[in-house]
Structure 1
Amino acid sequence: MLLQETHLTESRKTEVQRMFGGRIKKEGVAIVLNKKLVKEVVKGRAIQVKMTWCSGEEKRILCLYAPTSEGQSEGSDFFKQLSSFYEQIDNTEAPHIVAGDFNNVEAPIDRFPDIVRADDRLLDELGLLKQWLGLQPVDGWRRANPTKRDFTFTRGKGDQLTRARLDRIYVKESEAIWMRDWRITPAGVKTDHLMVMVEASAPDTPVVGKGRPVFPTYLLKDAKLKAQMKASSKRAADRVKDIEKRGRTKEDNAQKVLVEMKREWLDLARAREKAVVPRLLKEIRTREEELEAAKADLPRGTQRRWQRWRNVTTTQSRKTERML
C-alpha cells in the first residue's frame, strides 16, 4: 500500500519508529517496508522502493505526493525536480510503477466542475516526467475505463461540491499487460480520498487452485443456518449418548460422529451460501449501478442527488462486503 498525506506528528512518528525497532521511517508519503529498501527521491514528497516480485524479477515503485500549497508553479517545479533526479541516475533505477496523489487532473472528465486550464505548466512537466520514465501517457485506471467518470477526492457539499481524480497509478508499457482489475474504492478509514487499486501479476506467477474447503464464517450470524446447525448438533449428541449406553466400537464411536457432524455443517453452510451470496452480490451491483448513474449526471446539476446516493451506497456496500 502506497500512502500520501500521512500527517504524523513528531510524537506519533517517534512512537511508530519505537514500536518497530527503527525498521520503519515515516514522512509525508510512506510505503511500509524495511527502510533499507527505500530510496528517498524528494524529502517528504517522493520515495522509491525496490522489491523482488513473485517471479523473482526486481520491481521499482515510486510513491509521490505532489505539493499545491503555493499554487501550480510549486507542483510544476516538483515534477521538474523528479525528472532531473532520474536524468542523473542510471536508467535501470527508473520505476516500473508510479503512484500517488498528483494533485492535478489531465482531462475535464476527471474533475467536477469540469474545468482544466489548457496552459497548465504543471501538466507539461508531468508529461515530460512520464516520457522520461517510459510510462504510459494515460494512467492505468483511465486506460481501462476510457469513458467512465469517477473521482478519488471530494470537498464541500451541495453547490460547493468539488471532486477530482487526483490519485492515479502509471505503469511502464511493458508492465501494463500484467495489470488487471483497476478499481477506485473506499479506503476503509475516514478520509476525503478514495483508493486506487490494481492487481499486479507476472509471467511466471504460479497457478493457484481452489484451495481447501473453508467454512464461510460470515454466515455464523445467519439465523436459518444457526438453527440447522443446532439441530444437527442435537442429533449428534443423541447418537453419542446411545453409543455410551451400548458401548463404543471401531465402526461406531463419538469421534466418527463428530467428523460426520462437521461434514454436515460444511454442507449446510455451502447450501446456505449458494442461497444468500447471489442476493448480496446483486444488491451490491444494484447500488454500484445507481451510484455510477448519479455520478454521470453531475454536469447536469445533480450534486445533491449524487451526495445522497454516495452516502447510502457506500454505507450499504461496506455492510455487505463485511458479510462477504
Structure 2
Amino acid sequence: MLFDEKIGALVVGETHLSAAQADEIQEALGKRMDIYHSPNPDNPSTRGVAIVLNREITNTKGVKVWYLKPGRAILAVLPWHGRRTHTVLGVYAPAESMEENKKFWDELYDMWMTMDLPVPNSFKGDLNLAEEPIDRMPHRKDQEAAVAALARFKRLLGLEDGWRKVNPDTKEYTYASPHNTLSRIDRIYVPSSDLKHYRDWSISDAAGGLTDHRLVSVIVKAPGAPFIGKGRFTIPVFLLRDKKFLEFTSMVGADLEEKIANSPEDAKAIQNGFKAFKDCIRDFARVRSKIAIGALEQKKRKLQQQRKEVLN
C-alpha cells in the first residue's frame, strides 16, 4: 500500500509489533522504506504506533525522532523541500476508557508545555475519540471531558481537523465495529494557517484487507514549490497479460518489421515508422486499459456511491 498509493509518510497505529519484529521489517525492506516504531513495552503484541517513510519519494536523511509515549505517541521531524522540514505527530490513543483517553491528551499537552518540542505540521492517527455526534453512526456524543482535553491540546498547537473543514456536512467513517456501529476516529490535523497547502483530502479503502480501518490521506505542498503534474502515461503492467493487447501489439509490430525490411536504407522512414508504432501502441493501451478494468472499477464506484447515499 505504501508504494502502490505513493504515500510519503504513513502513521500506523495498533501495530502489534515487538522491537525485534520491527527491526526484521526494516532489514527486509530497508532499501525502500524506513520504519520508526514505538512498541508497547509491557506487551508488544498490543498497542504500538509507527511512522513509516517511503524512501522512494521521501527524503529520509537526518530524520529526528521523539518517542513521547511508548506504544502511544511518536514525533518525527522530516527533511522536506530545501531547508524546510515537516513535523509529524503519530498517535494511537487509548480505547480502554474515556478516562484513559482524556489522560492521554492531558499528558501530551503537558509535554508541549514543559519540553522543547516542535509544533507538528500534521498530527494523525487513531484517536479512539469522535469530537462531534456526526462522526459516529448512530450519532452520539463522546465523553465531554475527553473531547475537551483533545480540544485544549489542538488549541495549544493551532491545529484543526482538515478533512472536516473541507467536508463540513459529509458523513464518512473510518472504522466499523463488530457491533455494527461506524465512527470517524482516524483523523489528520493540520495548522489552521497552512490549510491552503493541503489538498485532496480522502477517506478510502486503499488499505483493503490489511486493516479494519480505512485510510485517511492528504497531499501537502510546500509553499512556493513548483507544480508537479501526474507525469507521462505508462502502459499498465496488467496489459502485458491481456490477450487482445498482445495480439494488437504483435500485429502492429509485424507491420513495422515488414516496412523496415522493404526500405532498409531509408533511416528517416524507419525512425518515423518506429515513432508511429509507439504512438499507436500507447493510444491502444489507453483505450484497452479502460475497457479491461472498466467493469470492476464501475462496480467499485457504484458501491462507493451507494454507501455515500446511504450515509448522507
Q: TM-score, normalised by structure 1?
A: 0.76
Q: 1:148 aligns with which of 166, 170, 179?
A: 170
Q: Is structure 2 residue 133 aligned with structure 1 residue 108?
A: yes
* One-letter amino acid of the counterpart of residue 134, structure 2: I
Instruction: Identify which range, 231-240 or 98-107, moves more after superposition.
Output: 231-240
Q: 2:83, 2:295 → 1: CA distance?
A: 41
Q: Is structure 2 residue 104 aligned with structure 1 residue 82?
A: no
Q: 3-state DSSP class of the match of 1:95?
A: coil
Structure 2 match to 1:37:
64
Determine if contact 2:63/2:77 at 8 Å carries over to the other structure: no
Q: Is structure 2 residue 107 aligned with structure 1 residue 98?
A: no
Q: 1:59 aligns with which of 74, 80, 86?
A: 86
Q: 2:63, 2:268 → 1: CA distance?
A: 60
Q: 1:236 aligns with which of 250, 256, 268?
A: 256
| Larger RCO, structure (CA 8 Å, separation 6 or more) | 1
Q: 2:306 aligns with which of 290, 303, 308?
A: 290
1:223-262 aligned at under 5 Å gives the runs 223-242=243-262, 248-251=264-267, 258-262=274-278
Determine if contact 2:35/2:51 at 8 Å carries over to the other structure: no
Structure 2 match to 1:16:
25
Determine if contact 2:36/2:51 at 8 Å carries over to the other structure: no
The root-mean-square deviation of aligned C-alpha atoms, in Å, is: 3.0
Q: Is structure 2 residue 282 aligned with structure 1 residue 266?
A: yes
Q: 1:283, 1:140 → 2: CA distance?
A: 29
1:209-233 deviations in Å (ceiling 9; x for gaps): 5644533444445554433222212
Q: Are the structure 2 counterparts of residues 68 and 267 from structure 1 closer, same or farther at C-alpha, using a change threshold of 3 Å?
A: closer
Structure 2 match to 1:135:
159
* One-letter amino acid of the counterpart of residue 192, structure 1: D
Q: 2:76, 2:309 → 1: CA distance?
A: 38
Q: 1:50, 1:115 → 2: CA distance?
A: 36
Determine if contact 2:92/2:125 at 8 Å carries over to the other structure: yes
Determine if contact 1:55/1:202 at 8 Å carries over to the other structure: no
Deviation at 1:263, TM superposition (A): 3.3
Q: 1:183, 1:2 → 2: CA distance?
A: 15
* One-letter amino acid of the counterpart of residue 77, structure 1: K
* One-letter amino acid of the counterpart of residue 63, structure 1: G
Taking only the aligned residue pairs, the percentage that are identical comes to: 31
Structure 2 match to 1:181:
200
Structure 1 match to 2:189:
170
Gaps of 5+ in 1: 297-324
Give the number of the structure whose residues are more often strand, by fraction: 2
Q: 1:196 aligns with which of 188, 191, 216?
A: 216
* One-letter amino acid of the counterpart of residue 187, structure 2: R
* One-letter amino acid of the counterpart of residue 174, structure 1: S
Deviation at 1:142, TM superposition (A): 1.0
Deviation at 1:266, TM superposition (A): 2.2
Determine if contact 2:122/2:188 at 8 Å carries over to the other structure: yes
* One-letter amino acid of the counterpart of residue 171, structure 1: V
Q: 3-state DSSP class of the match of 1:32?
A: strand
Determine if contact 1:55/1:205 at 8 Å carries over to the other structure: no
Deviation at 1:292, TM superposition (A): 0.6
Instruction: Identify which range, 249-258 or 195-204, moves more after superposition.
Output: 249-258
Determine if contact 2:49/2:91 at 8 Å carries over to the other structure: yes
Q: Is structure 2 residue 232 aligned with structure 1 residue 207?
A: no
Determine if contact 1:96/1:172 at 8 Å carries over to the other structure: yes
User: Number of aligned pairs?
Assistant: 283
Deviation at 1:293, TM superposition (A): 1.3
Q: 1:10, 1:30 → 2: CA distance?
A: 11
* One-letter amino acid of the counterpart of residue 235, structure 2: F
Q: Are the structure 2 counterparts of residues 270 and 124 from structure 1 closer, same or farther at C-alpha, using a change threshold of 3 Å?
A: closer
Deviation at 1:65, TM superposition (A): 0.7
1:91-128 deviations in Å (ceiling 9; x for gaps): 7x1212111100010111111222214x5211111111
Q: Are the structure 2 counterparts of residues 252 and 86 from structure 1 closer, same or farther at C-alpha, using a change threshold of 3 Å?
A: closer
* One-letter amino acid of the counterpart of residue 311, structure 2: K
Q: Are the structure 2 counterparts of residues 221 and 252 from structure 1 closer, same or farther at C-alpha, using a change threshold of 3 Å?
A: same
* One-letter amino acid of the counterpart of residue 38, structure 1: V
Q: Which has the larger radius of gyration?
A: 1
Q: Are the structure 2 counterparts of residues 205 and 292 from structure 1 closer, same or farther at C-alpha, using a change threshold of 3 Å?
A: same
